[in-house]
Amino acid sequence: MAATLAVVSCNNEKQSQVNPFFAEWQTPFGVPPFDQIENEHYVPAIDSGIALARAEMAAITASTEAPTFANTIKPYDRAGQLLNKAAYVFYSQTSANTNDTLENLQMEIAPKISAFGDEVLLNAELFGRIKTVYENREAEQLNAAELFLLENLYKSFVRNGALLQGADQEKLKKLNQELSVLTVRFSQNVLAETNGFKLVIDNDADLKGLPESVVATASEMAVADSLEGKWLFTTQKPSMLPFLQYADNRDLRKKLYDAYLNRGNNGNEYDNNKVLADIVRLRADRAQLLGYATHADIVLETRMAKTPDNVLNLLNDLLDRALPVAKRERDEMQKIVEAEGGTFKLEPHDWWYYAEKLRKAKYDLDDTELRPYFSLDNTRDGVFDVANKLYGITFTRIENIPLPHPDAQAFEVREADGSHVGVLYMDFYPRESKRQGAWCGGYRDHKVIDGKEITPVVTIVGNFTPPTGDKPALLSMDDVLTLFHEFGHGLQALFSNNTYVTTTTAWDIVELPSQIMEHWATEPEVLAMYAKHYETGEVIPQELVEKIRNSSYFNTGFDNVEIMAASLLDMAYYSLEAPVNVDVQKFEKETMQKIGMIPEIEPRYRSTYFLHMIDGYDAGYYVYTWAAVLDHDAFDAFSEKGIFDQATATSFRKNILEVMGTMEAEQMYLNFRGREPKIEPLLRNRGLN
């Protein structure tokens, strides 16, 4: 065993001169040396990482000592450091800065990592040792975090097939291999479809209704695409949504929106209908093989929700409350259509355009009035200031540090006493190499190795409208909320106080740290801190603050209906029992009819581009809604004592942010709030009570 480890180590040492993954990173705070990492470095690093991790697992099973936490669980937790090091960078880059080579490497690497995962989880000798430690856990005198780790590690092995025998194990491996390739293909197809559509306008009459800033951005995008003298719009939301909100040309609005809706559903090489049908079929087969009724039952076993019925009860209750509100919104907009002489019925591609007119009519509030007060830099600094007032931490720009992309920014995060917390990257602008949406990820998690604290390296990625001409990047109110949201995830990652690598997080609570941050964004006290006109520096006028607060219920029917519809669609797919043979388009249509969806609203995500349903939120898109119950109730705790109350902030950090994944989610919330969450704050704040 020692010889095997020595050979792997020797090979790594030889490669360290040319491959940065095989060397200690001599960079500020040990961040990845992005400027040295080339595409050809990933496969050798991951192959060596697997070989080394395999040897580390073999060393555990070769032990002749009786299994204990110290000689089995702890070395298991510490194994795979090289593999993790390379995989963290690889998958972060394929999400935010991919290319054809990386996409091909994904198809090569995904099955390898899946196969190795099965090799570990289906290793009978390794599981035997873990099982022995689990059965003797009371004699081990473990602390609460160690006991939580052990119990969930054992259950994870069982849930992933450790009790299967012979042919059933081989069948599971085959299912996992197929799924690893299909999920990558689905994501790559969505990116290709998103990049593949361009609405090119060459007649300025077709720009009527669009704000000057939107036109300027479209012109710059056209120039960048060698379309000088024209205007370019895409299905990226920073480009699409302003067009849907303001463009008077109804036919072009429909053309752009239909292109967005039909990504992955165009019958071409990037069509996702069969890919999704196969994923749903294979996940149902896998659930049956593992002894579960459905894929949803597997996923929910470790969640706060526990069962599909509990999820459906919440979603259906909120949908029933939201549909009448959405219908009133629709009827109000239909009256505007008719008052303007329109003879058509409102359709989904009309919603944003007439909602903007309705907002102007009801609240005298126009999105273009707000954007000048929400420059990206000011909003970023505003969220930093909120974190400082809550937790005392500071953010200092780092100039001489490797960046994951030239657009990215880097900040050192420090405690109030000046001690280092971690590094935060922020990467804000759309590009063809970046997938849609916004997210928080990481290049390194917090842990303690051989008594040495390893600090986190976190990244926040978005797709916000870039600067145009002499104007900075200006955000919509939705963009502002998105930035606060992802920053909440970033805080949780930065504050994480895990001793061990292995964690088990109930995803129902994952969105609590992010969603609660959104509440601060529109508080008058907070708006005064960061909402300043990009030209004059004037703080947002009280009149606009009042309009923002008065319009807080605006479009709430639409917002709730579209997210409930998407959540129910996700649950519908993964509540199917094997054997499954689903026609995606037919299934989606029937599901929408079953829940009473009105034709004027589409679900937030249609099936063939519903990335959440594929890459980690499968049978889990509901968690945003489950966490909404938590975040509204939790923010009440702040509101009751003051939104910057130090005792409440300290409790939230200690009981929620620092311990995510190291204890039961229900207990975390009880420790913070002193009671179980109540749904009433959510209903009140969304106008659904």
pLDDT single digits (tens) 93-150: 999 999 999 999 999 999 999 999 999 999 999 999 999 999 999 999 999 999 999 9
3-state class (DSSP) for residue 231? strand
State residue 17's pLDDT score. 62
Contact 303, 627 (CB under 8 A): no
3-state class (DSSP) for residue 426? strand
**Cα angle value 147/83/489 (rounded, 5°):** 60
Helical (H) or strand (E) element with 441: strand 439-444
Residue 332 is among the residues annotated as catalytic for this protein: no
Contact 442, 493 (CB under 8 A): yes
C-alpha distance from residue 187 to each of 158, 190, 276, 284 (Å): 29, 5, 11, 20
Phi, psi of 187 (to 5 degrees): -65, -45
* Token reading at 641: 């004592």
- Provide the H-helix boundaries in 446-555: 477-495, 507-510, 512-521, 524-530, 542-550
Domains of the chain, start order: 2-163 (1.10.1370.40), 197-261 (no CATH), 273-365+555-685 (1.10.1370.10), 371-550 (1.10.1370.40)
Task: Given the residues 329, 486, 511, 562, select the one marked as catalytic.
Answer: 486
Cα–Cα distance, 121 to 131 (Å, whole number): 12
State residue 2's pLDDT score. 44
Query: Which strands, in side-by-side order, build the sheet including 439-444?
Result: 394-397, 409-414, 420-427, 457-461, 439-444
* Token reading at 672: 């913070």
- β-pairing verdict for 447-449 and 439-444: unpaired
Cα–Cα distance, 68 to 146 (Å, whole number): 12
Give 67's pLDDT tier (boundaries 50, 70, 90). Answer: very high
Q: Which segments within 222-314 are labelled E, that is strand?
A: 231-233
pLDDT at residue 601 is higher than 80: yes
pLDDT at residue 1 is higher than 90: no
* Token reading at 478: 């939705």
Cα–Cα distance, 651 to 668 (Å, whole number): 10
Closest CA relative to residue 232, chosen from 244, 242, 217: 217
Say which DSSP state 428 is in. Answer: -
Give 16's pLDDT tier (boundaries 50, 70, 90). Answer: low
Give the length of the chain.
689
3-state class (DSSP) for residue 481? helix
Tens of pLDDT, residues 248-281: 999 999 999 999 999 999 999 999 999 999 999 9
Burial group, residue 440, by CB count within 10 angstroms (0-12, 13-18, 19+): buried
- β-pairing verdict for 457-461 and 420-427: parallel
Q: Taking the alpha carbons of 235, 238, 244, 249 in that order, is the dihedral positive or negative?
A: negative
Cα-trace Rg, the chain: 26
Question: Does residue 579 have a cis bond before it (omega within 30 degrees)?
Answer: yes
Provide the Cα torsion 434, 440, 442, 447; round to 10°. -170
Tens of pLDDT, residues 394-404: 999 999 999 99
pLDDT at residue 598 is higher than 60: yes
Tens of pLDDT, residues 631-673: 999 999 999 999 999 999 999 999 999 999 999 999 999 999 9
Cα–Cα distance, 229 to 214 (Å, whole number): 15
C-alpha distance from residue 592 to each of 494, 500, 589 (Å): 40, 43, 5
String of DSSP letters for 360-424: HHHH---HHHHGGG-BHHHHHHHHHHHHHHHH--EEEE--SS--SSTT-EEEEEE-TTS-EEEEE
Distance of CA 212 to the CA centre of its chain: 32
State residue 8's pLDDT score. 53
Cα–Cα distance, 7 to 29 (Å, whole number): 30
Cα–Cα distance, 25 to 47 (Å, whole number): 19
State residue 450's pLDDT score. 85
3-state class (DSSP) for residue 453? strand
Closest CA relative to residue 500, chosen from 60, 73, 53, 139: 73
State residue 457's pLDDT score. 98
State residue 4's pLDDT score. 44
Give 14's pLDDT tier (boundaries 50, 70, 90). Answer: low
Cα–Cα distance, 498 to 445 (Å, whole number): 9
Cα–Cα distance, 525 to 622 (Å, whole number): 32
pLDDT at residue 222 is higher than 50: yes
Helical packing angle, 308-339 and 623-641, nearest 10° = 80
pLDDT at residue 6 is higher than 60: no
Neighbour tally for 450: CB within 10 Å: 5
Burial group, residue 262, by CB count within 10 angstroms (0-12, 13-18, 19+): middle
Give 449's pLDDT tier (boundaries 50, 70, 90). Answer: confident
String of DSSP letters for 270-289: T--HHHHHHHHHHHHHHHHH
Contact 62, 72 (CB under 8 A): no
Cα–Cα distance, 41 to 614 (Å, whole number): 27
32 CB-side CA count, 13 A: 30
The stretch 59-88 carries a mean pLDDT of: 97
Cα–Cα distance, 37 to 34 (Å, whole number): 5
Helical (H) or strand (E) element with 205: none
Contact 151, 159 (CB under 8 A): no
Neighbour tally for 62: CB within 10 Å: 9
Tokens 């907002």: give the residue: 359
Q: Give the residue with greater pLDDT, 481 vs 366.
A: 481
Cα–Cα distance, 78 to 556 (Å, whole number): 47
Cα–Cα distance, 54 to 635 (Å, whole number): 46
Percent of the chain with pLDDT over 90: 95
Contact 156, 502 (CB under 8 A): no
Residues 6+ apart with CB under 8 A from 342: none
Mean predicted lDDT score pLDDT of the chain: 96
Tokens 């409102």: give the residue: 346
Helical (H) or strand (E) element with 454: strand 452-454
Contact 508, 626 (CB under 8 A): yes
Contact 422, 446 (CB under 8 A): yes
Q: Is the pTM of this model over 0.85?
A: yes
C-alpha distance from residue 405 to each of 49, 433, 441, 459 (Å): 25, 11, 15, 11
Cα–Cα distance, 475 to 371 (Å, whole number): 5
State residue 15's pLDDT score. 57
pLDDT at residue 615 is higher than 90: no
Closest CA relative to residue 331, chosen from 552, 558, 547, 549: 558
Closest CA relative to residue 512, chosen from 386, 634, 683: 634
